[in-house]
């Protein structure tokens, strides 16, 4: 999608056709496609071609993270929605945004940082959940947990939404997102 937004759709399609297995040419094509992520998530004005080509260490790490992600999805999946949005839940304060994926009862975000989730990450996930509940999408009604998976660290973090205080939920809705009282 990001490639189409910046007039590089045919190039992206050719890269996609090269992704057939875990071999180095597939990993190279995947890395080149990453250039378009910012355009897809934030808008074409954020696109900057970098043309990252993986070296041997990067290739090893990429294939290890993919393998870990497959094991994770076997345990916590299946994915019921990926690349979700919050149509109907946006406000004049938060006008765009999309998330990673939902499983049956969990809203997930992938992070590949070398560190555990921080307060910014957890607040982002809380905002996603609240905006989802205000959106037109009924899928958010079944969310009972918020989770992070980090394939770099091979770690999962989960939080039951019923453990989030009503005061924090109200503050998030009113002060951050901008929903009326």
29-66 pLDDT, tens per residue? 988 888 888 788 778 887 888 777 888 898 999 999 99
Q: CA–CA distance from 77 to each of 69, 104, 132, 156 (Å)?
A: 11, 8, 20, 13
Residue 66 forms part of a structural domain: no
Residue 61 forms part of a structural domain: no
How high is the pLDDT of residue 47? 83
Range of the domain at 126: 75-177
84-104 confidence digits (pLDDT tens): 999 999 999 999 888 899 999
Split into its structural domains, the chain has a count of 2
How high is the pLDDT of residue 16? 93
Find residue 149's DSSP bridge partners: 110, 156
Looking at the predicted structure, is the pLDDT value of residue 133 above 90? yes
Residue 70 forms part of a structural domain: no
Residue 60 forms part of a structural domain: no
pLDDT-wise least confident of 39-48, 67-76, 138-147? 39-48
Looking at the predicted structure, is the pLDDT value of residue 139 above 80? yes
Q: How many CA atoms lie within 13 A of 52 on its CB side?
A: 14
């Amino acid at each position: 999608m990001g490639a189409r937004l910046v007039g590089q759709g045919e190039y992206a399609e050719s890269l996609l056709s090269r992704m057939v297995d875990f071999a180095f040419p597939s990993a190279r094509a995947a890395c080149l496609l990453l250039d378009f992520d910012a355009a897809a998530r934030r808008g074409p004005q954020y696109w900057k071609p970098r043309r990252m080509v993986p070296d041997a260490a990067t290739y090893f790490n990429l294939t290890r993270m993919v393998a870990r992600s497959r094991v994770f999805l076997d345990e916590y999946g299946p994915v019921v929605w990926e690349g979700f949005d919050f149509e109907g839940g946006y406000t004049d304060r938060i006008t765009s945004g999309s998330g990673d994926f939902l499983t049956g009862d969990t809203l997930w975000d992938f992070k590949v940082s070398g560190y555990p989730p921080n307060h910014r990450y957890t607040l982002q996930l809380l905002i996603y959940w609240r905006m989802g509940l205000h959106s037109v999408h009924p899928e958010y009604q079944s969310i009972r947990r918020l989770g992070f998976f980090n394939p770099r660290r091979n770690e999962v973090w989960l939080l039951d939404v019923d453990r989030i205080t009503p005061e924090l939920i109200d503050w998030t809705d009113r002060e951050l997102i901008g929903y009326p009282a």
